[in-house]
Structure 1
């Protein structure tokens, strides 16, 4: 279905997270969108699913709503971009999150091996050491907790999980940003072309790591993917490449970075929350983390497509209709979370939020991300008890198709 097939009253209702005003505050739009049934965004080319019950209906019915388009494929870009990717031998397979059953389970069970409880516990010393190192490196009584803390902290952790050499972090981040650009259907063509040109080198780099782990496996995600886990065999080199560059490195970095800074901003903006965190961090940090994840989900949403004619929330959807699941809107649905814009650390149903998804494709890295958030906040609160927002600071947000994250978080002490 195209925008021209849709009634005009639907086509006029648009959403573009890359520009004002939706970039700064999508929640005003979400609130309006929840007052009606799913409607088409001509900019995104998909029906927006904004109400909690509608989101759950889609997530819980994978037979009617396929995950095949969950994240865009890099080979779905314009012809000049595809030509560059093909010339560079850049592989493309379905990502884990794009798989439906029965293909999903064998891939997901291997992927899960990288984020077990044992792996989370094994990473805690690395997390704590890196957090302390970064805080101790702050100078001048002020810092940007995005660039100087959350970014290098999460980079260290995700590189260790995947199996990237620490010295390659800066280059890997460039390539990761390239993948984000190639996923972004709203990105300028010149940016997509530039990113495509760098993907051949990334492909060769990843293949070298895959070949090395095939001969000498380690306790890391690349080895799990190559050799198999949980009773399932190893994956093809092309699929390993796709998982590592996408679901592991992009999702494992951007969402956790943004969750750390969103949670810290909530603490610094709310005296009652801050007091509880300072008084009893072990009890309060998990509460404030879940409320921050609910209020500002770091991942905007994923796509689905209908496999048959259906009706969702009062809207008839023919087979083949694309949908965008806006988790951030569902997390502030008044019918599920009363007084949704308020900060309530004792909200009884807060763990029903959709920040990490739900069901078949619930985020496998959620336990690791929660551990990273906890360690990052504990370290800041303990070592910088006088931490406060810098004078004149106003939050601004990155222009991102998929992620909701602060551009900077300026603090002083």
Structure 2
């Protein structure tokens, strides 16, 4: 394919305006064009649902080896600091092709599905209630005061992190995402690399502890094995825990919860359904919001041979970014894609959790977290509304799309505490 000057300026940069606030400006235009190279990302932007599914259905032609960047792919200044800290790095679960993917995926599944999800439900209910009890003012930020501490508590319990270490673990987790982000300033990446040595030593202490004293947590599963597979090496435990588990298990669920609450507060019928019939409404609104406002922007693939995709010939070694958020609003698959439609018949065809070989193993856990967060919030605060003057703004993030804040009025709860009905407000 021959590129023109117009192609060169057809760029996507989710860190800055206008795509930071509304990436769908780019997505809509991209779906009308041949697959193009983004100079900022350094990859071809795959935006149409059919093209993305074609890639996901052909892991032989489109390798997952570069699904997320490696820390050691950073500039020499960063790599030098990582080496000094003895920071290990292997391929992550999401970066593995078959057959290596099979063992790590089986262990990951054992740690985040079925009985383990059910075992987390009491913690979910308890933590959600505690956080709502902590809303002491007339307004609350549901990002910092609800979604963040709620998801942190759950993912820490799943992995096996002591709850008292949550604040420090979050700093290290943010460092990992910074090191994955080729658009982050170099000085920020160097600073994050310096802290990775401490994170490595901390994780190794937990790994050594679980070797001697297994517990009911992900670290123990990865160390000792499950589902008929043996455990993995310490280096793999480091990579899985700090990446696929802690980063993906936190950011996406946090953003999914706040996106769903925002949609409910902006749509009176949706909110009424959550309050009056939560068992029926919450699963529907969860899937529709995952489709409409996917919290994860997408993953990379590498072409293992020359191949044509969506009318564009890609050379062997070409890097592609699969824009799941764009596929989820593809007009050819989801009519009136920007609308919130709880009766959408094909809503489960969305790609917010991926599909195929690398479909998100944590999807059942995330859905449970979202359900409990919504049911508890609207059950306790049925008069909840957006704070006066609130306007949604979004974080500058390479991989994730999430609200910076979600300010709501909690006046209803204060009135109820005096024995009055919220209908008197």
1:268 and 1:124 map into 2 onto residues whose CA distance is 25
Q: Secondary structure at the match of 1:47?
A: strand
Q: Secondary structure at the match of 1:304?
A: strand
1:34 aligns with 2:31: yes
Aligned match of 2:413: none
Aligned match of 2:62: 65
1:216 and 1:165 map into 2 onto residues whose CA distance is 15
Aligned match of 1:86: 83
TM-score calculated relative to the size of structure 2: 0.95
2:158 and 2:33 map into 1 onto residues whose CA distance is 43
1:282 and 1:30 map into 2 onto residues whose CA distance is 33
2:289 and 2:44 map into 1 onto residues whose CA distance is 26
Compute the displacement of 1:116 (Å). 1.7
Matches within 5 A, 1:73-112: 73-112=70-109
Aligned match of 2:136: 139
Q: Secondary structure at the match of 1:399?
A: coil
Compute the displacement of 1:28 (Å). 1.4
1:152 aligns with 2:132: no
Q: Secondary structure at the match of 2:337?
A: coil
Aligned match of 1:240: 237
Structure 1 unpaired stretches of 5+: none
Aligned match of 2:279: 282
Aligned match of 2:18: 21
Compute the displacement of 1:10 (Å). 2.6
Aligned match of 2:345: 348
2:200 and 2:177 map into 1 onto residues whose CA distance is 15
Q: Secondary structure at the match of 1:229?
A: coil
Aligned match of 2:289: 292
Deviations 1:257-296 (A, max 9, x none): 0000000000000111112112101100010111110011
Aligned match of 1:120: 117
Aligned match of 2:193: 196
Deviations 1:213-241 (A, max 9, x none): 00000000000000011011100000000
Deviations 1:79-111 (A, max 9, x none): 000000001000010000000011110111111
2:83 and 2:249 map into 1 onto residues whose CA distance is 26
2:104 and 2:271 map into 1 onto residues whose CA distance is 41
Compute the displacement of 1:362 (Å). 0.5
2:221 and 2:52 map into 1 onto residues whose CA distance is 32
1:396 aligns with 2:399: no
Aligned match of 1:166: 163
Deviations 1:374-405 (A, max 9, x none): 00000011100110000000000000000000
1:37 and 1:322 map into 2 onto residues whose CA distance is 16
1:189 and 1:131 map into 2 onto residues whose CA distance is 38
1:266 aligns with 2:263: yes
1:28 and 1:80 map into 2 onto residues whose CA distance is 35
TM-score calculated relative to the size of structure 1: 0.98
Aligned match of 1:308: 305
Match of 2:364 among 346, 350, 367: 367
Q: Secondary structure at the match of 2:283?
A: helix
Compute the displacement of 1:62 (Å). 0.3
